[in-house]
Structures are given as C-alpha cells and as structure tokens.
C-alpha cells in the first residue's frame, strides 16, 4: 500500500520506518525541512535503538522518502496517517491546532485525486472522531474552523 505519514517525530518516524520495512511504499511529511532532509538521508531525528539502521535500509531500498510537500505526498498515497503533536492547552484541554492544519493540507490536496471528494471539514471531523473514540476520557471541543481555514 502507498502510505503518507504526516509528522515525523517520535511516532511518525518510527511508524514510517516500520511500515516501509514491512513492504509498504511510504512518504513522510514534515514542516521541518531539516528533519525531512535528515530522514531522506537515512538519519534518525530521535534516539531509538535500531531506527537509524532501519531508516538507512528503507531509504536505500526506495521504500521510504521524505518531503515537506503535503500535496505531493497525498497524491502519491492511498492512505494518510496523521502523527503530528497534540499538546495540551493551559487549561488541560487538547490543542488540535496541528491536526487541523494537516487536515487542511490533506483536504486541499484530495480533490486533485480522481474520485476524491472529501472536504477539509469532513476530514477534520473524521480525524477528531478517531481521536476521541480512542480517548474517551477527554471531552471534545468544538473545532475552531475560522483559525484553521
Ligand atoms: N511520543 C510518544 O511516546 C507518544 C505516545 C503515544 C501517543 N503519542 C501521540 O502521537 C502524536 C505525535 O506525537 P510525537 O511524540 O510523535 O510528536 P512530535 O512532537 O515528536 O512530532 C510531531 C511532528 O509533527 C511535525 N508537524 C507539525 N505540524 C505539521 C504539519 N502541518 N505537517 C507535517 N508535520 C507537522 C513536527 O515538525 C514534528 O516533527 C501526538 O498526538 C502524541 O500525543 C505520542
């Protein structure tokens, strides 16, 4: 399967390397060009035993590449995984700013896919449904669409 992974931090980088090792064609996306350049060169942005060797292997095999271009990644994948940070707000609630930003980028790219018709708002709802279904102890805020639009 062709998979794009948004956010190449602790979760996204390990997920990208492991899915590529398992035979998927993975493209990682991050807003940090230094991180993207490092991963594209097979360098790990985090200290995790075995990760750098695995990154070097899957990059060399052409199973993993990295980019800052969200549209390119969406158009080159069948599924996108969102692995950006979800920090806490000062009052302890969930800050979905980065998730909203990625949903917007993916939503803008999807209509260019043949048959793709998911709007940004629909995508964001799906992403937040998935998150809150798995984190039932958190109360769900109303998304701030004006900020992300
Ligand atoms: N780290 C853990 O041990 C852990 C464990 C369980 C769950 N999680 C959850 O996994 C998610 C990711 O956590 P993490 O620790 O990997 O975060 P992280 O801060 O290490 O990485 C997030 C990455 O997302 C990138 N990013 C931000 N905006 C982006 C955008 N618009 N497009 C592409 N990339 C963007 C950042 O540059 C950064 O590299 C969070 O929701 C976190 O709560 C993390």
Summarize pLDDT for 63-89 with one digit per residue, the tens: 999 999 999 999 999 999 999 999 998
Q: Give the end of a domain, one of 31, 46, 72.
A: 72
In a domain, 44, yes or no: yes
Of 140, 143, 97, the closest CA to residue 121 belongs to 143
Instruction: Evaluate if residue 146 carries a pLDDT over 50.
Output: no
CATH number for the domain including 23? 3.40.50.720
In a domain, 80, yes or no: no
Q: How far is the CA of 111 from the centre of ligand 1 (A)?
A: 26
Q: Where in 72-118 does DSSP place strands (E)?
A: 79-82
Q: Tally the domains of the chain.
A: 2
Q: Report residue 149's pLDDT band, with 50, 70 and 90 as the boundaries.
A: very low
Site of tokens 């490092």: 38
In a domain, 26, yes or no: yes
Percentage of the residues of the chain whose pLDDT score is greater than 70: 86
Q: What mean pLDDT is reported for the chain?
A: 86
Tokens of 51: 């990760």
Instruction: Evaluate if residue 101 carries a pLDDT over 80.
Output: yes
Of 114, 49, 2, 131, the closest CA to residue 141 belongs to 131
Is 35 within 8 Å of 7 (Cβ atoms)?
Answer: no
Write the residue with the smallest CA distance to atom 21 of ligand 1: 9
Q: How far is the CA of 99 from the centre of ligand 1 (A)?
A: 9
Judgement on whether residues 53 and 113 belong to the same structural domain of the protein: no
Residue predicted with more confidence, 74 or 107: 74
The Cα 96–Cα 94 span in angstroms is 6
Judgement on whether residues 104 and 140 belong to the same structural domain of the protein: yes
Owning domain of residue 128: 85-148
Q: Where in the chain does DSSP place strands (E)?
A: 2-6, 25-29, 64-67, 79-82
In a domain, 78, yes or no: no
Write the residue with the smallest CA distance to atom 5 of ligand 1: 11
Q: How far is the CA of 119 from the centre of ligand 1 (A)?
A: 23
Q: How far is the CA of 23 from the centre of ligand 1 (A)?
A: 23
Write the residue with the smallest CA distance to atom 1 of ligand 1: 10
Is 8 within 8 Å of 66 (Cβ atoms)?
Answer: yes
Judgement on whether residues 36 and 89 belong to the same structural domain of the protein: no
């Amino acid at each position: 399967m062709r998979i794009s992974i948004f956010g190449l931090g602790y979760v996204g980088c390990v997920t990208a390397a492991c899915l590529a090792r398992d035979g998927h064609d993975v493209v990682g996306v991050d807003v940090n060009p230094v991180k993207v350049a490092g991963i594209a060169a097979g360098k790990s942005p985090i200290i995790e035993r075995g990760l750098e060797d695995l990154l070097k292997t899957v990059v060399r095999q052409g199973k993993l590449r990295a980019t800052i271009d969200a549209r390119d990644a969406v158009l080159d994948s069948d599924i996108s995984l969102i692995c950006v940070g979800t920090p806490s707000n000062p009052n302890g609630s969930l800050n979905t700013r980065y998730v909203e930003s990625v949903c917007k980028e993916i939503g803008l790219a999807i209509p260019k896919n043949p048959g793709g018709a998911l709007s940004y708002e629909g995508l964001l709802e799906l992403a937040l449904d998935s998150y809150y279904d798995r984190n039932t102890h958190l109360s769900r805020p109303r998304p701030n669409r004006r900020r992300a639009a």
